[in-house]
Structure 1
Amino acid sequence: MSEAAHTGAVIGPNAILQLLPQIERIGGEERVAQMLAQAGIFDVPDGSHMIPETDAMRLHQVLRREEPELAPQLAAKAGRETANYILAHRIPNLAQYVLKALPAGLAARALSAAIAKHAWTFAGSGNFRVVSPWRFEIAQNPIVRGEHSDTPLCHWHAEVFARLYQVLVHPSCTCREISCCAAQSDGVCTFAVTRALVR
């Protein structure tokens, strides 16, 4: 029985579904099938319900192991498409209109609160915390659980945050993972959102 089956830990299906087209882009359907099999995923999610977080964890780990040079770019693209899905299907148009009309500081405060409310969809059993409207933490991030790296690995999460802030707060926003639980002993991934200063 998987760890997820024991704990009930689940995550949003886009953690897998948005990664598959990126893998297909570099290796076709055969490469997708190969990586899914290596990750032990034999039933691709249909997007209608949450999935075991360990499935997503294993696929992201397989990608990083098999394509170490391309993995950051592919994961970031998958994160961007995940955010686009959220914008198209999960955030009402009226709420998006209001956020875009607010000053950036107020919009960031409102958006960070909304992200925290729905954190279980992308953090799974990890502990998400808003440090400030421009900084987040995920303790025990399941996407990189058990991995070790000298550099941050959570490109998918960083790009989800970046895209949401670009659309709803300010187009110049970027997000960078400034510390990763794969590299730090404290088991916390920290993400910082910044925006260009108006000249």
Structure 2
Amino acid sequence: MIGPNAVLQLVAVLERHEGPERAAGLLADAGLKGLPDGEHMIPEGDAARLHRRLRAEFPARAPDLAREAGFATGDYILAHRIPRMAQAVLKLLPAPLAARALSKAIARHAWTFAGSGTVRAVDPWTFEIDHNPLVRGEHGPAPLCHWHAAVFERLYARLVHPGVRCVETRCGAQPGSHTCRFEVVRWRRAD
């Protein structure tokens, strides 16, 4: 099982960019009969099929669409899942301490976004997901987990330091790997 935002936020992004009919078609192509209610966990296979269909249908745009959905998922988590007091405390802490606390919380609640995958906080700035269900069985030369990277990035940028970016440096879909590795790094926009 996985959290419903893996589907809900992606469908909302698709509706905005492609229209409701195209989003509904992609949902149907992925074998989903409708949207989850948002109150309960959903089978991870449903989310995986939708993300796979996104990558197949929009290969060039899928990374940006998945990222937008990941940011929206992070916003949902901030609005509904992390208590305001905890957010305020994290924002007051120095970045290294806030990152340590946030990484522990993410690892504790990983089942909501990683399903049957195994999440490990390597250090306060690095995560790994072994056997990530959103890319399980897929193969490709480049990282595919733009949704996960965006969720991590949004949480860290809002709670730890605004100048961070999360980069997937290795993907379970790449040859010789079954682990997705995400690194939160300081980032400066080139203006």
TM-score by length of 1: 0.93
Select between 137-146 and 27-36 the one with higher mean Cα deviation.
27-36
Residue 67 (structure 1) aligned to one of 30, 53, 58: 58
Q: Distance in 1 between matches of 2:175 and 2:115?
A: 20
What corresponds to 2:165 in structure 1?
A: 174
What corresponds to 2:101 in structure 1?
A: 110
- Paired residue type of 1:189: C
1:33 counterpart = 2:29: no
* 1:186, distance to aligned residue in structure 2 (A): 2.9
SS in 1 for 2:183: strand
Q: Distance in 2 between matches of 1:187 and 1:111?
A: 25
1:81 counterpart = 2:72: yes
Q: Structure 1 residue runs of 4+, over 6 Å off? A: none
1:126 counterpart = 2:117: yes
Q: Distance in 2 between matches of 1:151 and 1:132?
A: 23
Aligned residues: 188
- Paired residue type of 2:111: W
* 1:23, distance to aligned residue in structure 2 (A): 1.0
- Paired residue type of 2:15: E
1:92 counterpart = 2:83: yes
Q: Distance in 2 between matches of 1:156 and 1:12?
A: 13
Q: What are structure 1's unaligned runs of at least 5 residues?
A: 1-9
8 Å contact kept, 2:2–2:112: yes
8 Å contact kept, 2:8–2:36: yes
Q: Distance in 1 between matches of 2:30 and 2:37?
A: 17
1:191 counterpart = 2:182: yes
SS in 1 for 2:31: coil
* 1:195, distance to aligned residue in structure 2 (A): 1.7
8 Å contact kept, 2:171–2:177: no
TM-score by length of 2: 0.96
- Paired residue type of 1:138: I
Select between 131-140 and 17-26 the one with higher mean Cα deviation.
17-26
* 1:25, distance to aligned residue in structure 2 (A): 2.1
What corresponds to 2:140 in structure 1?
A: 149
Q: Distance in 2 between matches of 1:118 and 1:66?
A: 31
Amino-acid identity (%)? 61
Give the alignment of 1:43-62 within 5 angstroms.
43-62=34-53
- Paired residue type of 1:66: E
Q: Distance in 1 between matches of 2:17 and 2:41?
A: 27
RMSD: 1.0
1:165 counterpart = 2:162: no
